[in-house]
Amino acid sequence: MNKIAKLFVTFISAITLTLVSFTSSFAKVEGEYIVLGSAISLTGKYSSNGVHTQNGYNMAVDRINKMGGVEVQGKKYKFEIIYYDDESNPKRAAQLAERLIKQDGVHYMLGPYSSGLTKAIAPVTEKYKIPMVEANGASRSLFTKGYKYLFAVLSPANQYLEVAIDLAVEKNGGKGVKIAQAFEQDAFSQDVRLGILDAAKRTGSEIIIDDKLPKELNDMAATLAKVKAVKPDVLVVSGHTKGALTAIRQISEMKVDVPMLAMTHCDAAKLSKQHGKKSEFALCASQWHKNLSYKDKFFGSGKKYAKDFQKEFGYDPPYQSAESSAALLVFKDAFERANSFDRDAVRDALVDTEMQTFYGNIKFGPGGQNVAKPMILFQVRCKGDDCENRVVAPTKWASDKFYHPIPKWSDRS
Amino acid sequence: MNKVKQKDLILYSGLIILGLAAPYLFSAFKVQLTYLCVLIVLAMTWNLQGGEMGYNTFGNILFYGLGMYLTASVQVGMFFPLAEWTESGGEKTFVHTTAQYFQGIGVGLLISAIVPAIIAGAIGYAILGLRGHYFAICTLGLGIAAGEIAGGIEIIGAGQGFTTPPFPAEIADTEARGKFFYFLSFALLVGTFVFVKYIYGSRFRLILNAIRDNEDKAEAMGIQTMKYKIVGWMCSAFFCGLAGGIMGGLIGYIDSTDVAFDGREMGVFMVLMAILGGKGTLWGPVIGATLFHFFKEGLWTLILGWQYVALGVLIVVIVVYFPEGLMGWLREKYPERFGEVIDEKDRKAQVELK
């Protein structure tokens, strides 16, 4: 027995030595680099959106570094990001945040993808007083916890589809509508659901189907069968990229006729490319669209950003990438205004942020959410087999009229 | 006998000193060390069923998840209305005072040990009659079902997840939280180890082994196998619940399927760790969990995107080359160090026969 024990002790001491040799901690600012940290979903159920987020971050880092970097106390610095893969798992994300802060010595964080993961990381950054600018955690409950070091460049999740209900009511002559809804069981989608509940109450609408969908969403036929039977005026679906893809696939397979279909994550799912005409008339909530008229000196306009992004990564940027790029612009701005690397000075500068980026205006409310930017809605429209997203609301940026109701499948060619 | 004990004593006190000093020696690694303690506890308790009793359970994650939700719920519920705390997007902010936080987590942990044990008893009574693959599949279903059910219960946050109370802000030391959870998990590890070691020296273990080797014969010899199987599972549930409770507080955010009833990761890891180290041994799960954790932490980030492929390769290597785990492999190589007496003549005679 004690021979094994000896072996075990040897083993432990070997590990101890390795650990000690690994404890060479980085500094927050190394030479000419400002080191940011981020745990991103490179694998797991959020991997496609995780990559959109990472591409957005990288694009902005390259651009800012190329255009002179960040000037603090008369010296130019460049951004650098340490990435880890959180495997789309909150438990892992929290652990990695700790690792970034404690072992890699990161003093400024960029957010992960999805509300759930942001919820897991926020307590950690808050504990160590690390300012985190996040671009992909929209859940309202993130902004009611009194976090002081959390800043989100996006609008909260409950605002995503409220406008869609308003539109439906408007089309119904101001009377309440019948709503069928199905939401994935995750922090983000459940918050979108809350927004719909509020909108329903406000407009006197009735919710006739209220389903929960599993994570790793691949099938919602049961919900759709009910929709076919009870004929609601609006069908609302939210479940990240997979939710959007599954909904369109099964709606077209089952030929479900519904006058209005409202969703989230259509552009991240590249819906108009993947499903073409089947996805026509779907109404989607979006944080950003390239046709909006916001501007900044790094990326120019939204259209210019989309073009550059396309050149770099080979696909049209979804809003997840755009908002991620915007997070870096916010950090740069805050560092320069703070003119210091002191975490609290940077945090105070972040509080006072008031700027325009290609992605939209950014100004943080008391809870850390962006209060200066409205959500937009677009509708998938096709010319022949060529489909694209057209902005239909709010009217200020609408390039097209909202098409209502959706023609029946039997009338669609 | 006494001599051996003395040497053991040196080993154990050495390990305990190392354990107590670890958070100061490797201050930056406290969270990983806490994970390590919890992983070892999970592997050791799984080993009680999978290794000693021969019942491959995938259901221990159920108790882990239950413990997590129970601790957090009690910790909040003792002082504030739970429904308002977890209400999605709740507008109100509740803050625990230092005393409330620690009282809450204390009582919560107590309950998170007792309730899962009782539930293990009840479920065990119902399903421990199943054997082999049937038992394994049934317990696999338990974990998955629990995750889905928890994701639908509003009062514990449903799909929104449950944010556990933040560590009291009045404690200015930012290291305090890390230390608190480390020592909590270390205490749990020591407790579990002492308990399992005690079982290893008892008749109880022999009965579990008898069940593993031939349950019908064991029954024929007058052992009430059902009773022992249930008690064994209850013991595992007790420690798994505690481990879950600690992890919930450490992670700070409970998600029904990804954090609490995380059968896909934790549920598989505990089996893997026990098998890697060698199931059916005292030290096997400890070594397996330690190796696994270091493999995971060290290599995981070096091979971003490929880590699960590497994990798959690791599983294949373990199963093919170390089917009995590291301890089993060592035992085969150096049987005399495990106190097995080999009759050289007999061994040679066997070789010659071949």
Helix (H, G, I), strand (E, B) or coil at A134: strand
Distance in Å, alpha carbon of B289 to nearest chain A alpha carbon: 13
A vs B: CB pairs below 8 A: 168
Helices (H), B201-224: 203-220
| Residues A23-70: tens digit of each pLDDT | 444 456 777 899 999 999 988 888 889 999 999 999 999 999 999 999
CATH number given to A29-155+292-363: 3.40.50.2300
C-alpha span between B160 and A141 (Å, rounded): 9
CB-based contact A147:A176 (threshold 8 Å): no
Higher pLDDT, B116 or A217: B116
| Residues B190-214: tens digit of each pLDDT | 999 999 999 999 999 999 999 999 9
Evaluated on CA atoms A85, A91, A97, A98, the torsion sign reads: negative
CB-based contact B338:B295 (threshold 8 Å): no
Chain B CB contacts of A137 under 8 Å are: none
- With cut-offs at 50, 70 and 90, classify the pLDDT of residue A5: low
Q: Which of A278, A249, A279, A243 lies closest to A264, judged by CA?
A: A243
Distance set, CA B145 to CA B62, B85, B139, B248, B270 (Å): 9, 25, 10, 20, 19
Higher pLDDT, A80 or A18: A80
Q: How much is the average pLDDT of B62-79?
A: 94
Instruction: Give the per-residue pLDDT at B197.
Output: 93
A-interface mutation test, from B40, B86, B88, most A Cβ less than 10 A away: B88
- With cut-offs at 50, 70 and 90, classify the pLDDT of residue B95: confident
Structure tokens at B223: 């052992």
Same fold, A29-155+292-363 and A159-286+375-411: yes
Architecture of domain A159-286+375-411: 3-Layer(aba) Sandwich (3.40)
What percentage of chain B reaches a pLDDT higher than 70? 94
Map out the domains of chain A as residue ranges. Answer: 29-155+292-363, 159-286+375-411
- With cut-offs at 50, 70 and 90, classify the pLDDT of residue B1: very low
Checking ipTM against 0.90, whether it exceeds it is no
Distance set, CA A138 to CA A112, A118, A189, A214, B89 (Å): 11, 9, 10, 20, 11
Q: How much is the average pLDDT of B302-310?
A: 74
Contact: A212, B152; criterion CB under 8 Å: yes
Chain A CB contacts of B329 under 8 Å are: none
What percentage of chain A reaches a pLDDT higher than 90? 51
Map out the domains of chain B as residue ranges. Answer: 32-262
| Residues B215-253: tens digit of each pLDDT | 999 999 999 999 999 999 999 999 999 999 999 999 888
Distance set, CA B20 to CA A10, A99, A379, B25, B26 (Å): 18, 21, 60, 9, 11
- With cut-offs at 50, 70 and 90, classify the pLDDT of residue B4: low
Q: Any CB–CB contact under 8 A between B307 and chain A?
A: yes
